[in-house]
């Protein structure tokens, strides 16, 4: 898996080849102003460290060039009773995914993947290869939730694996709006998802079903499990799921699509009035999807400042708004406009001051790094507070220390203080 990072304008000339754990990474710098940095992230290595197995201590070291599907498969190959609390969707790259937090079906019991990282290897803006001891606790804190592409290139993660039962249950209950008169089921769900026993992970998928004449909304209630549930939840046909080694193909189960997504955090149940308006808006689009992901459990127990990911106690559920389209779509702007309108409609029903957002659902509508005539980065506080709340200030301080020249940057990378 190749990752390229835009690094224009950085002076210096060096060519280094790093040999890390048997894999080769080339780090190329040249003096030209059109400088670019290309690093090959190997997908080859997974070391399952089963020391202390009896005490249920089991760690994995994984290359950040792998997908989480590959990681899950390799873990399941070695142990049926261990899992990794990362994302639901198997083709996500481990590198970017974990730097933003990485939630999945085990989050209510064990937190995010970022909460379970024990060590990491990173190439910093000086081309130095650092592990946790060498990078120090500040940088180690920043890369576990501060978002990708700001602090360096993660080469590998060492993650604490967590126990999962050998046999699990998943289920989907589909309901149409007609079957949930007065939104009784949805209202009830909103009272409990963060209070249920931590073993339960009940998500709600709201999508449009039926044709134009009789459109309605399907609600699917799903309890997730481990390796088979990864397949079950990935978008593969649930009636005839593929064998689990499909995860090694590192392919997206839904093929190549274009999409716009946004996120919100609900601190109070959405009122009946709010739900009515939301469904009215949903029914305007054919391929719209809204996902409610339950919080509570371990997510409530980890303090907001433990990692840069601040969405912890007090969150009932996270909302993801999603609209995809294919290359042949004639009016992508209309799709994007629709999702913006839905987001705007939801304002009174979700978190405020700041209106929180999940950094792994990057949303450039929230603001971008812009530079004024003096070269200072402006408007960063707006999107910074949404993704990180008060942790943003610490992220900026760390960035200023480890990458003062802003070598690693993009539209929403953490800027150093001098910018
Ligand atoms: C279909 C779909 C399903 C999803 N499901 C989930 C889910 O269940 N749970 C969840 O938490 N999130 C989910 N996400 C969001 C996902 O976590 C983010 O899209 C994440 O950025 C994916 O990481 P990536 O490396 O694949 O992406 P990329 O786009 O390659 O990278 C994202 C960012 O990280 C940087 N980056 C990439 N690799 C590295 C590295 N090695 N070192 C440093 N920076 C790096 C990139 O420069 C970029 O800024 C989903 C996204 C999609 C599209």
Confidence band (pLDDT; 50, 70, 90) for 340?
A: very high
Encoding tokens for residue 12? 């210096």
Strand-strand pairing, 171-175 and 258-266: unpaired
pLDDT tens per residue, range 111-152: 999 999 999 999 999 989 999 999 999 999 999 999 999 999
HSE at residue 309, side-chain half, CA atoms within 13 A, is: 29
The verdict on domain 171-223+256-349 having CATH code 3.40.462.20 is: yes
Q: By alpha-carbon position, which residue is closest to atom 47 of ligand 1? A: 149
User: Residue 148: CB within 6 Å of ligand 1?
Assistant: yes
Work out the widest C-alpha separation in the chain, in whole angstroms: 67
Flag whether pLDDT at 29 surpasses 80.
Answer: no
CATH of domain 2-163: 3.30.465.10
Q: By alpha-carbon position, which residue is closest to atom 53 of ligand 1? A: 92
- The number of the ligand 1 atom at minimal distance from the alpha carbon of 361 is 15
171-223+256-349 shares the fold of 2-163: no
Pocket probe for ligand 1: among 65, 96, 110, 144, the residue whose CB has the most ligand atoms within 8 Å is 96
Distance CA 124, CA 29 (A): 13
Confidence band (pLDDT; 50, 70, 90) for 168?
A: confident
Tokens 């054919």, residue located: 286
Domain ranges of the chain: 2-163, 171-223+256-349, 367-419
Pocket probe for ligand 1: among 65, 87, 130, 234, the residue whose CB has the most ligand atoms within 8 Å is 87
Measured in Å, residue 16 CA sits from the centre of ligand 1 at 27
User: Residue 154: CB within 6 Å of ligand 1?
Assistant: yes
Is pLDDT larger for residue 214 or for residue 255?
255
Confidence band (pLDDT; 50, 70, 90) for 64?
A: confident
Selection from 119, 120, 103, 66 nearest residue 359 by Cα: 103
The fraction of the chain above a pLDDT of 90, given in percent, is 57
Catalytic annotation, pick one of 361, 387, 388, 419: 361
User: Residue 3: CB within 6 Å of ligand 1?
Assistant: yes
Q: By alpha-carbon position, which residue is closest to atom 31 of ligand 1? A: 96
- DSSP lists the bridge partners of residue 4 as 38
pLDDT confidence of residue 8: 28
Distance CA 102, CA 113 (A): 5
Q: For the chain, give me the number of helices (H) and strands (E)?
A: 11, 19
Annotation marks residue 361 as catalytic: yes
pLDDT confidence of residue 52: 45
pLDDT confidence of residue 401: 97
pLDDT confidence of residue 35: 41
């Amino acid at each position: 898996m190749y990752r390229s990072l835009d690094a224009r304008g950085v002076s210096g000339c060096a060519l280094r080849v790093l040999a890390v754990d048997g894999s080769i990474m080339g780090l190329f710098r040249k003096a030209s102003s059109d400088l670019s940095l290309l690093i090959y992230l190997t997908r080859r290595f997974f070391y399952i460290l089963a020391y202390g197995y009896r005490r249920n201590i089991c760690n994995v070291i994984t290359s950040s060039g792998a997908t989480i599907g590959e990681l899950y498969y390799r873990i399941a190959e070695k142990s049926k009773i261990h899992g990794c609390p990362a994302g639901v969707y198997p083709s996500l790259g481990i590198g970017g995914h974990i730097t933003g937090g990485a939630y999945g079906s085990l989050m209510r019991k064990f937190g995010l993947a970022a909460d379970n990282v024990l060590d990491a290897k990173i190439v910093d803006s000086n081309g130095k290869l650092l592990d946790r001891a060498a990078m120090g606790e500040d940088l180690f804190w920043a890369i576990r939730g501060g978002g990708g592409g700001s602090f360096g290139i993660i080469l590998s993660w060492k993650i604490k694996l967590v126990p999962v039962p050998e046999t699990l249950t998943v289920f989907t209950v589909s309901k149409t709006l007609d079957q949930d008169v007065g939104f009784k089921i949805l209202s009830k769900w909103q009272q409990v998802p963060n209070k249920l026993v931590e073993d339960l992970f009940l998500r709600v998928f709201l999508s449009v079903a039926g044709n134009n004449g009789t459109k309605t909304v399907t609600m699917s209630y799903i309890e997730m499990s481990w390796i088979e549930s990864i397949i079950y939840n990935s978008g593969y046909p649930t009636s005839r799921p593929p064998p689990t080694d499909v995860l090694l193909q590192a392919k997206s189960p839904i093929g190549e699509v274009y999409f716009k997504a946004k996120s919100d955090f609900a601190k109070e149940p959405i009122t009946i009035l709010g739900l009515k308006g939301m469904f009215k808006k949903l029914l305007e689009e054919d391929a719209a999807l809204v996902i409610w992901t339950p919080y509570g459990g371990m997510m409530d127990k980890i303090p907001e400042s433990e990692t840069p990911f601040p969405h912890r106690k007090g969150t009932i559920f996270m909302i993801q708004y999603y609209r995809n389209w294919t290359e042949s779509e004639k009016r992508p702007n209309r799709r994007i406009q629709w999702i913006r309108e839905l987001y705007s409609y939801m304002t009174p029903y979700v978190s405020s001051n700041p209106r929180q957002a999940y950094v792994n659902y990057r949303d450039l509508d929230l603001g971008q790094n812009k530079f004024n005539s003096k070269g200072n980065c402006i408007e960063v506080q707006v999107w910074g507070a949404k993704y990180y709340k008060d942790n943003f200030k610490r992220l900026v301080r760390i960035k200023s220390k480890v990458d003062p020249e802003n070598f690693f940057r993009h539209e929403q990378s953490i800027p150093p203080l001098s910018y």
